[in-house]
Amino acid sequence: MLKIRNVSKSYSKGRVKAVDNISLDVRPGEIFGFLGPNGAGKTTTIKMITGILPIDSGTITVNGYDIEKEPIQAKMNMGFVPDNHDVYERLKGIEYLNFIADVYNVPAEERKERIDKYLEMFEIKDAAGDPIKSYSHGMKQKLIITGALLHKPPLWILDEPLTGLDPKSSHLLKEEMNQHCARGNTVFFSTHVLEVAEKLCHRIGIINKGKIIAVGTIEELRKSEDASLESIFLSLTEEGSGRYA
Ligand SMILES: Nc1ncnc2c1ncn2[C@@H]1O[C@H](COP(=O)(O)OP(=O)(O)OP(=O)(O)O)[C@@H](O)[C@H]1O
Ligand SMILES: [Mg+2]
C-alpha cells in the first residue's frame, strides 16, 4: 500500500539531513505507528509521502502510484491530516468541506452522507455554518479529519492526529482507524503517545536522527525482554544504535 525506498531529504542546502536513506513497507490492513523524538524526521517523511515536499533521492509509491511521477493518482489514494491546523479560516466549515469534496470529485450523495456522518460523530454539526476562524483548536482538527476522509481514501496519513482531541473524539477516531484497517485499508500515523501506539498499531517504526532504527510488531521490538514500549523507545533513541533494526 505504501512503499518507501531509500528516501533522503536535506534542508538548508544540504546542511541539515532530516531523513537519511529510509525504506519502509506498510501493508493493506495495517495500522502503522511512526514514532521518534522531536526533530527525528517524521513530519519531513510524511510531507514527502503526501507530495508536499520534493524527495531528494529515493522513491515513494502509494497503492502502486509514484508520488512524484503520478501525483494525482497517488493523492487520490490517500487522505492527509497535517500536524498544524492551517485551514481556510474565512470559509464556513461546510464551505471548506464542499470545497475539498469538489477537489476530490466526491459525488453529491456520497459527500452529504460522509459529511453528516463525521460532523455528527465529532459533534460539530451545529458549527458547520460558522466561519472556521471561530472554531477551537480541536474543532479545526475534527473538520480537517472530516475533509481528509471525504473521498474514502484507502491510505490514511495522519501526523499526530490525536493532539488536541478530547477523550471522546480521540476514542472515536481510534475506532475509525481500526474499522478502516479491518476493511483491508491502511493507516500510517505519527504520535508521541506511546500507550496509543502500543494498543492501536499492528507494527511500529522508530525514526531517530533521520534513520529508521527499529521496525516491527511490539512483540518483535521487545525481543526477549519484557519491556514496555516506553522503555524500548527510550533505550533505542538514547543509544542511537540499530540494536532492534
Ligand atoms: N523547513 C525547514 N528548514 C530547515 N530545517 C528543517 C525544516 N523543517 C524541518 N527541519 C529540520 O529537519 C529535522 C526533522 O524535522 P521534522 O519536522 O521532520 O521532525 P519531527 O520528527 O516531525 O519532529 P516533531 O516530533 O517535533 O514533530 C529537524 O532537525 C528540523 O529542525
Ligand atoms: Mg512533526
State the DSSP H helix or E strand holding residue 227, giving kind and residue range, or none if neither: none
Q: Is the CB of 203 under 6 A from ligand 1?
A: no
Closest CA to 230 of 187, 189, 197, 203: 197
**In this structure, are 59 and 147 located in the same domain?**
no
pTM score, whole prediction = 0.92
**In this structure, are 65 and 2 located in the same domain?**
yes
**In this structure, are 148 and 159 located in the same domain?**
no
Q: Which ligand neighbours the alpha carbon of 48 most closely?
A: 1
Domain edge (last residue) among 152, 186, 210: 152
Partners of residue 8 on adjacent β-strands: 57
From the CA of 210, give the closest atom in ligand 1. 14
Q: How far is CA 214 from the centre of its chain?
A: 19
Domain edge (last residue) among 152, 171, 199: 152
Would you call 228 helix, strand, or coil by DSSP? coil
For the chain, the straight-line distance linking the first and the last C-alpha, in angstroms and rounded, comes to 22
Residue nearest to atom 28 of ligand 1 (CA): 39
Partners of residue 80 on adjacent β-strands: 157
**In this structure, are 176 and 70 located in the same domain?**
yes
* Pairing status of strand 203-208 against strand 211-216: antiparallel
**In this structure, are 49 and 160 located in the same domain?**
yes
pLDDT of residue 19: 97
**In this structure, are 60 and 94 located in the same domain?**
no
Q: Which ligand neighbours the alpha carbon of 207 most closely?
A: 1
**In this structure, are 58 and 167 located in the same domain?**
yes
**In this structure, are 130 and 206 located in the same domain?**
no
Domain edge (last residue) among 123, 152, 181: 152
Q: Is the CB of 16 under 6 A from ligand 1?
A: yes
Tens place of pLDDT per residue across the chain (245 aa):
999 999 999 998 888 899 999 999 999 999 999 999 999 999 999 999 999 999 999 999 999 999 999 999 999 999 999 998 888 899 999 999 999 999 999 999 999 999 999 999 999 999 999 999 999 999 999 999 999 999 999 999 999 999 889 999 899 999 999 999 999 999 999 999 999 999 999 999 999 999 999 999 988 888 756 778 888 888 888 864 444 44
- Which residue range(s) make up the domain with 130? 86-152
**In this structure, are 148 and 158 located in the same domain?**
no
Task: With both helix axes pointing from N to C terminus, report the angle between 93-103 and 137-149 in degrees, rounded to the nearest 10.
Answer: 30
Would you call 33 helix, strand, or coil by DSSP? strand
Ligand 2 centroid vs 158 CA: distance in angstroms? 11
**In this structure, are 91 and 12 located in the same domain?**
no
Domains in the chain: how many in total?
Answer: 2
Find the CATH number of the domain harbouring 202. Answer: 3.40.50.300
Ligand 2 centroid vs 109 CA: distance in angstroms? 36
Q: Is the CB of 11 under 6 A from ligand 1?
A: yes
